[in-house]
Amino acid sequence: MFVVALCGCTGYVKQSDFNAAIAELRANDQKQQQEIDAITQEMHQKFAQYDTQITAMQGRISVDTIAHFDTNQSTLRDEDKQRLDDFAKVMREHHANAVITAEGFADPSGSAALNQRLALRRAQAVRDYLVQSGGLNAGQVRAVGYGKVANRQVVKGATGEQGQPNRRVSLVTDFAGST
């Protein structure tokens, strides 16, 4: 009978062992949650670095704010080239027959004629980069300059540092082609 009583007690756990196991599980759970939070934050930062907004509009795809420019400049910045490389890769792999328009804009400083030419040069710089470095067909990428058109300004009337969102080229996929 004493043997039966001892055998029956083998399934019990000491309170101190139980508390230690629970503490270890909670520590592991907290560590995993911290890792998940770090990964989530890293993903948000990666998405934010591209500062890209993609919108589908009745068969057209708009990728806005793909390249920004300094005042009175139409030279692509290095940080924008990676975005353009990514865009070109997606288009080559998934929309090889797409028709794309690079739309150039300027901030409201300067004359209308100057800004029109500057916006067109910016659009042409993006088009040329997509063709030469991105491997897109020259016939499928067009360039147009809108200058300082008021209803297309991101920050109305802003110039200088505040007007940088206005000095941009947006890419619009007018025809996505076959996937």
pLDDT tens-place string over residues 47-94: 555 444 444 444 555 565 578 888 888 999 998 998 899 888 888 888
Pair 166, 106: CB distance under 8 Å: yes
> What is the dihedral angle through the alpha carbons of 109, 111, 116, 119, rounded to the nearest 10 degrees?
-20
Task: Say if residue 23 is in the same domain as residue 64.
Answer: no
| 147 and 102 belong to one structural domain | yes
Q: Is residue 9 part of a domain?
A: no
Domain with 19 in it: 15-50
**Inter-CA distances, 51 with 46, 67, 90, Å:** 9, 10, 17
Query: What value does the mean pLDDT of the chain take?
Result: 79
92 and 146 assigned to the same domain: yes
More confident residue, 143 or 161: 143
Q: What is the mean pLDDT of residues 155-179?
A: 75
Q: Residue 102's pLDDT band (boundaries 50, 70, 90)?
A: very high
Domain tally, the chain: 2
For residues 66 and 151, membership in a common domain is answered with yes
